[in-house]
Amino acid sequence: MPYVNKARPYKKEYEQYHSSEEQKKNRAKRNSARKQMEKKGVVKKGDGKDIDHKTPISKGGTNKKSNLRAIKKSANRSFSRNSDHSVK
């Protein structure tokens, strides 16, 4: 775990990663997918679910209905880890 005994540089992280044009576009796609599923009645605010892209946006996935599903936040936000706790 990289920030165990030191402060996480949120401002630097935002400037270098989250504010990039590519990440802004990806975030807009994720927000659009959530709104689509809310309109269909699959999810609602505060229900503890995330909209999962079966094929991730980063791997070329789209917001097509066939690529979206609602799953629990804990399942969508967990990553497989190695024995040293690094992400696989």
Burial class (CB within 10 angstroms; exposed 0-12, middle 13-18, buried 19+) of 63:
middle
Inside any domain, residue 2: no
Burial class (CB within 10 angstroms; exposed 0-12, middle 13-18, buried 19+) of 76:
middle
Inside any domain, residue 28: yes
**How many structural domains does the chain have?**
1
Pairwise CA distance, residues 42 & 22, whole Å? 28
The pTM assigned to this predicted structure is 0.71
Residue 87's pLDDT band, with cuts at 50, 70 and 90, is low
Inside any domain, residue 1: no
Give the residues across from 70 on adjacent strands. Answer: 51
Inside any domain, residue 45: yes
Per-residue model confidence as pLDDT tens digits over 16-47: 888 889 889 989 999 999 999 999 999 999 99
- Containing domain of residue 49, as a range? 10-76
Q: How many CB atoms lie within 10 A of CB 13?
A: 11
